[in-house]
Amino acid sequence: MIHPVASEPSGVGEMGPLATGAVPDTRADAPGFLEVRGLTVRFGGLVAVNDFSMSVARGRVHALIGPNGAGKSTTFNCISRYYEPSAGTIILDAEEITGRRPHEMASLGVARTFQNLELFSELTVLENVLVSAFLRTADRREAERRAHAALETVGLDDRALQPAGDLNLARRRRLELARALATEPKVLFLDELMAGLNPPALRDMIEFVRGLARTGMAVVMVEHIMQAVTELCDHVYVLAFGELIASGTPREVVSDPRVVEAYLGVEDDG
């Protein structure tokens, strides 16, 4: 279903400006173009995603939307290699990377957040981001510098020594984003990053993601909040029952009868 903006306690709309020290230099002419061709995922006799293709451009925001159970997160999981696709090809900057493992995908510049937050609750906010920062350096001081920069970017550096489990939902989502940014991604997948944010926090996050795209990063979102999709996205892909049913600009897809039917169903004339 398409979610309205949910409420969240005040004081969470604190996303900082896009700091150059925390975001990789992914200019429009830098590598980072991603193509997915014929992606198919089978779980036994169930086809969760069938022959899905997508083209992701640098400096653009793309969305993957659809009803619950449409196969959106499964698609994300296959591209980031948490699932093994049954068929299909993944190409990054003209190089096929289909068989790479998750840590290799991260090294190549493919990062993601998770729909269900995957934080180390007992570790501090800084330590959570350090885990990611060590992907690019083995030097502790350099990793700490990168981690602090990522936290400053998302407005959490003043909470660096706080246990991650003590953060509220909105700040935990920003911590998840900081961990992804610390890996210096070329392509960033955001799985329902904006769920649960109040209007000010949602506005902050929309502007922040827009800023990431302006650096040249390719961004792909799974999102149910249509305000974010319509305001942010250059191109939208719509899945239903694992099938691509529509593709185009936000305006084009929301007026497509197949999309309306997938979300709302059709009235029984009988």
pLDDT in tens, 200-250: 989 999 999 999 999 999 999 999 898 999 999 999 999 999 999 999 999
Residues 195 and 255 in one domain: yes
CA distance 235 to 240: 17
Q: Give the domain extent around 134.
A: 120-179
- 95-143 confidence digits (pLDDT tens): 999 989 888 989 999 999 988 887 899 999 999 999 999 999 999 999 9
Has residue 208 been placed in a domain?
yes
pLDDT, one tens digit per residue, over 147-163 is 999 999 999 999 999 99
- Domain match, 63 and 190 both: yes
Domain termination residue (choose one: 164, 179, 194): 179
Co-location of 165 and 77 in the same domain? no
Last residue of a domain, one of 128, 149, 179: 179
- The total of structural domains in the chain comes to 2
Rounded-to-integer distance, Cα 57 and Cα 71, Å: 22
Q: Encoding tokens for residue 28?
A: 């429009």
Residues 91 and 189 in one domain: yes
Residue 141 lies in a domain: yes
Residues 130 and 246 in one domain: no
In this structure, the answer to whether residues 213 and 255 fall within a common structural domain is yes
pTM: 0.83
Condensed to tens digits (0 to 9), the pLDDT of residues 8-17 reads 443 444 565 4
Same domain for 59 and 77? yes
| Other C-beta atoms lying within 10 Å of the C-beta of residue 149 | 20
